[in-house]
């Protein structure tokens, strides 16, 4: 028997997170996937390609592609190429997305405060170490 079932509470956590970000989606009239992409790019500047989003967030290529196209059409993202590489498209967040990102990050912070409320720092540190080890194990396989 597993000491902890990693899937046991996954849906509850996703549903709880959705409560926080749905308001942002409605306010700015964007889809959840579009918000997730903007927040991913804003929170992880070292990742700036569609492939990065697919690989790191485990999202479908087709959904990411469609969402990036919509974000670009609305002026929230711009595609650019690095000087030395004309094959890889890098995604740049435009100023028009700044309010969406600010609201999204505020929602994320509120979610994190709510979900970790009452958990001592030492337990959070242990959880971080365990999660890092689990991810390392996954990468090895």
Distance of CA 25 to the CA centre of its chain: 14
pLDDT digits (tens, 9 = 90+) for 40-95: 999 999 999 999 999 998 889 999 999 999 999 999 999 988 777 777 889 999 99
Name the nearest CA neighbour of 76 among 99, 93, 101. Answer: 93
pLDDT digits (tens, 9 = 90+) for 1-54: 567 777 788 889 999 999 999 999 999 999 999 999 999 999 999 999 999 999
Q: Determine the pLDDT at residue 10.
A: 86
Q: Is 30 helix (H, G, I), strand (E, B) or coil?
A: coil
Name the nearest CA neighbour of 101 among 59, 44, 55. Answer: 44
Burial zone of 89 (CB within 10 Å; 0-12 exposed, 13-18 middle, 19+ buried): middle
């Amino acid at each position: 028997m597993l000491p902890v079932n990693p899937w046991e509470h996954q849906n509850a956590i996703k549903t709880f997170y959705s409560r926080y970000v749905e308001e942002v989606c409605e306010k700015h009239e964007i889809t959840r996937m579009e918000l997730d992409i903007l927040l991913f790019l804003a929170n992880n500047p070292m990742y700036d390609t569609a492939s990065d989003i697919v690989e790191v967030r485990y999202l479908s290529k087709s959904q990411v592609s469609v969402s990036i196209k919509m974000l670009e059409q609305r002026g929230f993202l711009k595609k650019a190429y690095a000087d030395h590489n004309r094959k890889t498209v890098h995604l740049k967040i435009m100023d028009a997305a700044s309010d969406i990102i600010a609201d999204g990050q505020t929602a994320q912070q509120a979610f994190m405060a709510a979900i970790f409320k009452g958990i001592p720092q030492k337990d959070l540190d242990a959880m971080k170490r365990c999660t890092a080890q689990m991810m390392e194990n996954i990468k090895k396989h």
